[in-house]
Amino acid sequence: MATDDVRAGRPRRLADDISVALCTFNGEKFIVEQLESIIRQTLLPRELVISDDGSTDRTLEVVRRVLTPEVLAETGISLKFLQRKEPLGVTRNFEAALAACSGEFVSLCDQDDVWRPDRLERLRAEFSSDDVLLVHSDARMVDSAGRPLGHSLFSALGAGRRELAREQGPTAFEVLVRRNLVTGATAMVRRQLLVAARPFPASWVHDHWLAVVASLAGRIVVDQGLLIDYRQHGANQIGATKLNGSVALDLLAQSRRRRHEERVERISELNHRLIAGELSATEAQRAFVEGKLRHELIRRGMPRGRVARWPSVARELFTGRYHRFSRGVIDVVRDALSAS
């Protein structure tokens, strides 16, 4: 057990500038392993904020059983609880947890993963200059029992070296508006980013929003290491699935129109904040968002019938907008063949 590991006197360093924001919701089944991996870190966080979104199981009881006053005293970790009866949902729960953190650097944390012992040390070291606002890593995909699934998170996302390199350069904003590459469970952010990003829009998932704002206000760094075991167990509030034949068929069976309605809502919110001056952007970045919004409005307005939809799909393809604003051939196929 991690408590025995700590009492055995294994050397640890305490980072006064690191907080961990851990969001929980009915997580009693897996949270012990996550907590143990946190207190096994080679670089320990000064603060752990746990924001519980109205759990009805024994999550908080389990937390207190693992993080006893003795363990907290021996590690030097300060524990803060946020509890509520009515759930806020994933994005607002993380916003509350992050806002309650006092560290200059805040690591996002899911309740059902397991961290490699040097995770915090690796991520903290990547903040080598003041303009680095967000660092995220790859992860090993595991099943509910913690068995490796044989691929990584970046592989599941279809994120190649070229796209990840662009995310770390001057075109990061365009890359991330096109699609999200940042999984919150693998990320650490600088406090400056949290100030710039709040309030989080309800239409965005917290990690995607933080990534987009980070690409506007500073730089993003990618650590290619498998720094966490990212557990997929069927009850994930947010997860990642490697694309294969059966997954592709499931995606094609989903409502295309609902998907585009959600995208239009997200990009409209981003565009509104740019116009209002709440986020700073270049003229080229503003133009990209406007182009992305037009593209998504066209996709949303395509006919419900597959055959009737094909001329509109062809026009967007020939203009190059699928490749500029979406995922190219992948989204062409989805628009041409998916359900109405």
How far is the C-alpha of 337 from the C-alpha of 205, rounded, in Å?
26
Percent of the chain with pLDDT over 90: 86
Instruction: Tell me the residue range of the domain where 133 lies.
Output: 14-231
Could you tell me if residue 240 is inside a domain? no
How far is the C-alpha of 223 from the C-alpha of 186, rounded, in Å?
10
Q: Do 134 and 279 sit in the same domain of this protein? A: no
Q: Do 272 and 205 sit in the same domain of this protein? A: no
Query: CB-based contacts of 301: which residues, under 8 Å, 6+ apart?
Result: 312
pLDDT in tens, 176-185: 999 999 999 9
Q: Number of structural domains, the chain? A: 2
Place of tokens 């003795």: 70
Q: Do 209 and 273 sit in the same domain of this protein? A: no
Q: Do 78 and 130 sit in the same domain of this protein? A: yes
How far is the C-alpha of 236 from the C-alpha of 240, rounded, in Å?
9
pLDDT in tens, 200-238: 999 999 999 999 999 999 999 999 999 999 999 665 455
Q: Do 85 and 190 sit in the same domain of this protein? A: yes
Q: Do 254 and 219 sit in the same domain of this protein? A: no
- Judge whether residue 140 has pLDDT over 90: yes
Query: Omega into 148 within 30° of 0, i.e. cis?
Result: no
Closest C-alpha to 1, from 52, 67, 58 = 67
Q: Do 200 and 309 sit in the same domain of this protein? A: no
pLDDT in tens, 55-97: 999 999 999 999 999 999 999 999 999 998 889 999 999 999 9
pTM (predicted TM-score):
0.91
Q: Do 278 and 210 sit in the same domain of this protein? A: no
Could you tell me if residue 239 is inside a domain? no
Per-residue confidence at 256, pLDDT binned at 50, 70, 90? confident
How far is the C-alpha of 217 from the C-alpha of 281, rounded, in Å?
8
- Judge whether residue 7 has pLDDT over 70: no
Output helix, strand, coil percentages for the chain, rounded to the nearest 5.
Answer: 50, 20, 30
Are the beta carbons of 172 and 164 closer than 8 angstroms?
no
User: Which CATH number characterizes residue 42's domain?
Assistant: 3.90.550.10
